[in-house]
Structure 1
Amino acid sequence: MSQPLFKGLFPALVTPFRDGAVDEEAFIRLVERQIDGGVHGLVPVGTTGETATLSHDEHRRVVELCVATARGRVPVIAGAGSNSTEEAIELVRHAKAIGADAALVVTPYYVRPSQEGLYAHYAAINAAVQLPVVVYNVPSRTGTDISNEVLARLSKLPNIIGIKDATSDLSRASMQRLMCGDDWVMLTGDDPTGLGYLAHGGHGCISVTSNVAPEQTAAMYNAALSGDWEGALQHQDRLIRLHRALFSDASPAPTKFALAHLGLCTEDVRLPLVVASEASRAEVLAAMRDAGVV
């Protein structure tokens, strides 16, 4: 069995704003904090990075900043999804051109393609760009759920290397591992069930919680990946409230509130998102104390 390059903890990085623009200095600080905290890789401009409200120029700039700041210390999986196949191809081409290690490509949202359409979408990207692609399945946001049967077909293509699974359905992970083979990279996108996902054969997590608590979250994944399940469970127990609190309001507003509380960036989000509610803030602060962040 070959070991995947992409395993462990990959923060789904927020995109900080100041006065309506991307705060590049704050973004660089956040990337350095994640690397210092022991994460195993970085994921810019995913859902948590508010990619839906970034211009194309901003999107590309954030990926460039992430790659330049990482300087090869950890791999970068660049968000590059779109509901247009041609646009997704262009974003994956850009990710390759500036030195990203892989691209994260969400299932096309809103248009709700058929399963055959989903296969054709990723097959077109596979044929167009020689860069590893991680399929991002998050049906609660996209309205489309890519089946294990289609993933098994995609796993045979040279550039489609794995999944970010945000379905929270752990039984699918076991079946997918059997259907897609040992080289298929399996990353969860659901922090609360991340430990269980590893137990089902997963390799790691693209994490929201890591934005706030990189050291604590990395410690959990390091313990699990080394076979220390009891230690990993202890970390999970300290983090579970934070996992949930960061989704107590529309994401990433609670995460940005937590980072602002730590003095790392503003809590600004772009419409139609608004800052976290008072109830969410209280829940986040209590959870940060549980996790040992404050």
Structure 2
Amino acid sequence: MATKLWTGVYPAATTQFTADDKVDIEATKQVFSALVDDGVNGLIILGTCGENNSLLPEEKRAVLTAAVEAVGGKVPLVTGVSELTTARAIDYARDAEAIGMDALMVLPAMVYVPTPEELQAHFRAVAAATGLPVMLYNNPPAYRVEIDVATLDALQDVPNIVAVKESAPDPRRFTDLINRYGDRYQVMAGLDDVALEGLMLGASGWVSGLTSAFPRESVALVAAADRGDWVEARRIYRWFMPLLHLDAEHDLVQSIKLAEQIMGRGTERVRMPRLPLAGARRAEVTAMVEKAAATRPLEVAAAA
């Protein structure tokens, strides 16, 4: 593979649907392939933007198989593990490994808010069921569970829990985690509108939502950060920021898929209970994407 795990840009890729609400495997493959062709360093398959919890078990396995067929071996493939129970998460983790995923992004069990002991037990059980490396996903605003330092302290003896996707909106977390753990856990920026702050503070890479619509700019942003060109990184980030704020909203999936559609990279179809954006919100997001498309910073730099 061209890149190793947990470095660079990993878009949380979307799952595409047909007009009659079936998973559109061919369109989903095209989304995956186009992102890789545009230079991303890995893919998150069936994360939040992939509508993991809206898919049936057999649909999830079909999407993983499609990802391996489309881009397996070209970049690392990481799948979200987002299930109602630990037993289902174990089954999914085992199947994902057998299908050919390279790593797992493990969430707390859905709906139920666990005690710290329950959270640790869930992560331990899923990690023990697979030989794949595991990244824990910390997103307290979305999932009402914080993966705090006490939990990370307790899990240090689990050898294949190796990374944390940090989506808390407080950039101080990056420094606190790196100070506390050194290189024990790789830390990836996971919230789009704190991504540059995370990279500047030592995040090894970026799990991104809006990369699905603007991958080349995302790759250029991380490349600038990697080479210490903060002037260029800030220039791209400031252009991107109105769209990046969408990643912190509850309708992020609809907004990102609408952005993909406008940019000719997919459709805005989502599975209920989500509905496509409508009315003033749709007009607002459309205007934001169209403005971004008209002022793309790489084209501006090339023209200069």
Determine if the TM-score, normalized by the shorter chain, exceeds 0.5.
Answer: yes
Whether 1:270 aligns to 2:256 is: no
Question: Residues 182-261 of structure 1 correspond to what in structure 2 (within 5 A)?
Answer: 182-245=183-246, 250-261=251-262
Matched ranges for 1:82-97 at <5 A? 82-97=83-98
* 8 Å Cα contact 1:44/1:79 also seen in 2: yes
Q: Which residue of 1 aligns with 2:285?
A: 284
1:12 aligns with 2:21: no
Query: CA separation in 2, counterparts of 1:246 and 1:278?
Result: 20
- Per the TM alignment, residue 159 of structure 1 is displaced from its structure 2 partner at its CA by 0.8
Distance 1:200 1:152, change over 3 A: farther
In structure 1, give the amino acid aligned to 2:109.
Answer: P
- Flag structure 1 segments of 5+ consecutive residues without an equivalent: none
Aligned position for 1:105: 106
Aligned equivalents of 1:93 and 1:249: distance in 2?
30
Distance 1:245 1:286, change over 3 A: farther
Q: Say if 1:119 and 1:249 are closer, same or farther in 2 by CA, change over 3 A.
A: closer
The TM-score normalised by the length of structure 2 is 0.90
**Offset at residue 280 of structure 1 (A):** 2.7
Mapped to 2, the partners of 1:217 and 1:170 lie a distance apart of 19
SS of 1:243's equivalent in the other structure is: helix
5+ residue gaps in structure 2?
297-304
Q: Distance in 1 between matches of 2:184 and 2:148?
A: 18
- Decide whether aligned partners of structure 1 residues 143 and 94 sit closer, same or farther in structure 2, where only a CA change above 3 A counts: same
Which one-letter code corresponds to 1:14 in the other structure?
T
TM-score, normalised by the number of residues in structure 1: 0.93
Residue type of the alignment partner of 2:25: E
Alignment of 1:9-48 (within 5 A): 9-18=9-18, 19-48=20-49
Other-structure match for 2:302: none
Count of residue pairs brought into register by the alignment: 292
3-state SS in 1 of match to 2:206: strand
For 2:82 and 2:258, locate their aligned partners in 1 and report how far apart those are by CA, in whole Å: 26
1:152 shift after superposition: 2.8
Partner of 2:152: 151
SS of structure 2 residue aligned to 1:43: strand
Task: Name the SS of the counterpart of 1:292 in structure 2.
Answer: helix
Superposition deviation, residue 227 in structure 1: 1.5
> 1:58-207 alignment to 2 at 5 Å?
58-207=59-208
Decide whether the 8 Å contact of 1:220 with 1:235 is kept in 2: yes
Describe the shift of the 1:8–1:109 C-alpha distance in structure 2 as closer, same or farther (beyond 3 A).
Answer: same
Distance 1:79 1:60, change over 3 A: same
> Which residue matches 1:51?
52
| Per-residue deviation, residues 202-251 of structure 1 (Å, max 9, x unmatched) | 11111111010000111101111221111111110111011124566612
Secondary structure of 1:193's counterpart equals helix
Q: Would you say the 8 A contact 1:239–1:290 is kept in 2?
A: no
Post-superposition offset of 1:181: 2.5
Q: CA deviation at 1:49?
A: 0.8
Distance 2:142 2:249 in 1: 16
Give the Cα separation in 2 of the matches to 1:141 and 1:150: 18
Q: Deviations over 1:143-191 (max 9, x none)?
A: 2111122113323311101111111111122111122221411112200
Provide the secondary structure at the position in 1 that maps to 2:265: coil
Between the aligned residues of both structures, percent identity stands at 33
**What SS class does the counterpart of residue 186 from structure 1 fall into?**
strand
The amino acid of 2:35's aligned partner reads Q
Higher mean C-alpha displacement, 263-272 vs 29-38: 263-272
| Structure 1 CA distance for aligned equivalents of residues 4 and 186 of structure 2 | 6
Answer with 266-275 or 37-46: which moved more.
266-275
Q: Is the Cα–Cα contact under 8 Å of residues 211 and 255 in structure 1 kept in the other structure?
A: yes
